[in-house]
Amino acid sequence: MIDISNLTSLITAFRQETEQGSISPETLGALLQAIANQLQSATTDQEQSKLTNIYNNLLKMGNCLTNLAQGDTDRNNVLGDYTFYNVVSGIPSAQRGQVLIKQATTERAGAMRAQQVIDLNAAKKGVATLEDAVAQINTQLEELNGYIESTDGVVQTLADDMYNAKSNLNTLNNRVSVVPIRRGVITIDPSSITSPIGNYFKYSMADGYYEIVRGGILIGHAVSYQYGNFRVFDVVGLCHINSNTFVYQDTLAHILVRVAQNGLIVTNGTIDHVDLQNQINLKQDRLEAGNGISISGNKISVSSYPAPSYIIEFASSDGVFSGNFEPERYRELHHAIVEGKTIIVQNGVTFTTAVSTAIGEDYIVIRYSIPRIQQDNATVVLGVYELTVNERSYTSKSVFKVLPPA
């Protein structure tokens, strides 16, 4: 609003002039000039409209924020203190302890809570502890690597020792013969010369040595072992065997019996077979019993079992002498003695049965004798020989004794 108090005073004084001639052009001009001066400082309608709009907007705006500071301490949120000023009324105001920034969650960003700071410090301390532990482990690994490098020589020595031990074991295995375990008796039906082979040899039988007995009399033996998917029986006895039948006979045969898992039997042998039943039926009158064998009708009884033999070729000489011996021959001889075979010493065309055999820890002793009739046809010279062998060498000794005429 324009201050018109001065102008109002001038107008009031002018109106009080009542005398004729009191109003002069100067007085009237001064009053009009004062009015013109007041009008010069007055606002237009347009300016008044703008001022009105500004005033209304200030009323709508309300309080203005003049200051913001962090408020009191809180474990979860950031608090703020606000200071306001109303530009219309000129009255200041304030608010304290208001939430300025809420705590952070998995769904929104925000201020870090006090507990999160504690957890972060604990994690930082844990990382430092972990770094110290890793450093200690690295130190221990370096020490371990040094120890491993220092033991390389020891390991190599152990490897050499193991290789030597393996070589010694192989040598020992070559020098030791395996004796089959006695598993029992295979009893042959004595009521007939022929019977089904499947009754005696089965896939489920264990490895080992079996005696073959018929009518209470030993007629042979069988050694059982597993070979691939077959059960094999190495049979030596008074019998003929095919894929279906076991035939009792008076001649010794060596037969391999192979039994499959399904019970199928295949045989082959190293001695000629005979169908003893047919011989008995066709040539009953021509059969003659040898030593230990008796014939009664269709029944043949055997009271002795010819032992298999092993022949060792050796040229005996008088006195004491030594020489080389092959490891393979030693193992064969050792195995034959263990199996109970008769040992025969062959010198050219002369075959001499050993009187005794003995097996030591790493050697074998064979003793045999050869009688010689002198030219007087009355005196006998008895040569007694002792042959000691191992895997590498042999030593032969001989003693001669003259037997006078009776």
Domain range list for the chain: 5-58, 182-302, 309-403
Distance CA(341)–CA(362), nearest Å, equals 19
Which is it for strands 342-347 and 309-313: parallel, antiparallel or unpaired?
parallel
Please return the burial class of 331, using the count of CB atoms within 10 Å of its CB with bins 0-12, 13-18 and 19+.
middle
3-state secondary structure 149-213: HHHHHHHHHHHHHHHHHHHHHHHHHHHCCCCCCEEEEEEECCCCCEEEHHHCCCCCCCCEEEEEE
- 327: its two tokens: 């490891």
Residues of the chain with pLDDT under 50: 176, 270-277, 291, 304-306
Token pair for 127: 């990382």
Residue 111: the pLDDT is 82
Helix extents (H) in 244-284: 276-283
Cα(347)–Cα(283) distance, rounded to whole angstroms? 40
Pairing of strands 230-241, 293-296: unpaired
On whether the CB atoms of residues 85 and 94 are closer than 8 A, the answer is no
The Cα 362–Cα 310 span in angstroms is 20
d(CA 301, CA 292): 8
Contacts of 316 (CB under 8 A, 6+ apart): 345, 347, 370, 383, 385, 387, 396, 398
Q: Identify the pLDDT of residue 107.
A: 85
Q: The tokens of 394 are what?
A: 């042999």
What tokens appear for 296 in the block?
């009664």
pLDDT of residue 305: 47
CA pseudo-torsion sign 325, 328, 331, 336: negative
Strand 321-324 to strand 393-403: parallel, antiparallel, or no bridges (unpaired)? antiparallel
Strand partners, 260: 230
How far does CA 92 lie from the centroid of its chain? Answer: 84
| C-alpha Rg value of the chain to the nearest Å | 66
Identify which of 212, 260, 215, 203 has the alpha carbon closest to the alpha carbon of residue 236: 212
